[in-house]
Amino acid sequence: MQVKGRRKATEYRRATGSGNRCLEGSAAQKSSFVTAASLILVLFLSSAAFFIPDRYLPGLILCDIFLVIHGLSRRGKLGVIVRVFLVQLIITMSLYYLIHGQGQLAQGALAVLRILLAFIPGWWLSVSCRAERIGEVLTWILPVKWAFVIAASIRLLPFMTVELREIYQIQCLRGARITPKFLRDPRNWPELINCVIFPLLIQLLKLSRQVAVAAQLRYFGKNKKPTHWR
């Protein structure tokens, strides 16, 4: 009786484990298809931001508003969108004013709006989809190494934001003329590049090297079809 009971328990555990693996495989496949649909949606919306006529922009704005609401529900940060909008507004409007004068400022504002509408879908994708899933889906149409680079770049976006903020604050404490008050003068723009942009690029190069070394230590590239993207 004890032997039969043990056999039944063993068979039950095997059946349960097999069922769990099937459920996990089905959930992973479903997640991959959702990520693929999200990529197609983002590509369509971002392209439409630049190519559709002006009369269709309200519909695109409504779609992006839904994406922002959903992204905020997934703990996305609205401050990222606000900062991108302000930077684009200052740079684009300044260039339009210097080149075309006051007559083309409305066109400059429209250009800023289109850039923002193209940025929001990508922000939503980075918030709603995990980078490893995006990399896994990209292997359907891209070589594995390219997909890995894109997925790693997406995962670096939060780090870039934090690093940029820290570099900017440190340079301001050192007395660099890169505050919004000083940046009103185009003569101070080179100082922003030297004090913020160049250090950020150097930091990203160092991090990219660390990511490459970590991938090599994990024998990345040895298998043509990797099964684990985390």
State the chain's mean pLDDT as an integer. Answer: 79
What confidence tens digit (pLDDT) does each residue in 37-89 have?
888 999 999 999 989 888 889 999 999 999 999 999 988 888 888 888 888 88
Tell me what the mean pLDDT of segment 167-185 comes to.
Answer: 84
What confidence tens digit (pLDDT) does each residue in 84-139 have?
888 888 888 888 888 877 877 888 888 889 989 999 998 898 888 887 788 888 88
> Residue 45: is it exposed, middle or buried by C-beta count within 10 angstroms (0-12/13-18/19+)?
buried
Q: What SS3 state is found at 211?
A: helix
> Alpha carbon of 64 to those of 45, 51, 71, 106, 224: distances in Å?
8, 16, 10, 21, 37
The interaxial angle of helices 131-138 and 2-51, nearest 10 deg, is 80
- Per-residue pLDDT, 223: 67
